[in-house]
A = this chain, B = another copy of it.
Amino acid sequence: MSTSKHSILSKSRELFEQHGYGKTTLTDIAKSIGKVKSALYYYFSGKEEIFAQIVRDEAEQFWNSLAAEIETADTVEDKLHLYVETRVELMQKIAKRYHFLKKEFFELMPIVEENRKETDRLEKDTITVLLMDYPKYEGTDESTVRFKAEMLVNTIKGLEVQMYVTDQVLIDQKSLPIFSDVLLNGIL
């Protein structure tokens, strides 16, 4: 990727985080990389596309960290526990970082959702594959397992929305293992 494209994305991200999406103008972005706003159109089709690309990059990086972390465990159980704990941790970081999304939630969330579809699928696929390897699901047809995997991922995503929308940090560091235990092994 060209240096210009990269610095546009990098500076835009900073500006969005500092002032929010709406308050950041293309002139601001262009000025931050020492160009004029029309120059941005050589790399992106418009403001929304810049935001979309940031979302895609962020999502990819998010998933790469998460997938790498899962790899370090040996058993399915451990992988899943690591998944839940790391997922929640990363989520809380991202929610803090994109605090500005709160004000513009209904405007921007559809764009976020749209551009996360790819990594979303990767995530659900991975959990499904993990579960398929779990003795309990030996011989269970994939659609059933996938359904449960989606349920797990969606439950965690539910917390993510809650983080964006409300201000409460939901799960602190020390409660994380308990949370993961309840989610994976059930409350009963």
Contact = CB atoms under 8 A, between A and B. Distances in A.
Interface string A151-188: 11011011101100110001000010011001111111
Chain A's interface size range is: 20 to 34
Contacts of A23: none
B175 A147 contact: yes
30 contacts: A77-B188, A80-B188, A105-B106, A106-B165, A109-B165, A109-B166, A131-B187, A147-B175, A147-B178, A148-B182, A148-B187, A152-B182, A154-B170, A158-B158, A158-B159, A158-B161, A158-B162, A158-B170, A161-B162, A161-B165, A161-B166, A162-B162, A165-B165, A183-B186, A183-B187, A184-B186, A184-B188, A185-B188, A186-B186, A186-B187
Interface of A: 77, 80, 102, 105-106, 109, 131, 134, 136, 147-148, 151-152, 154-155, 157-159, 161-162, 165-166, 170, 175, 178-179, 182-188
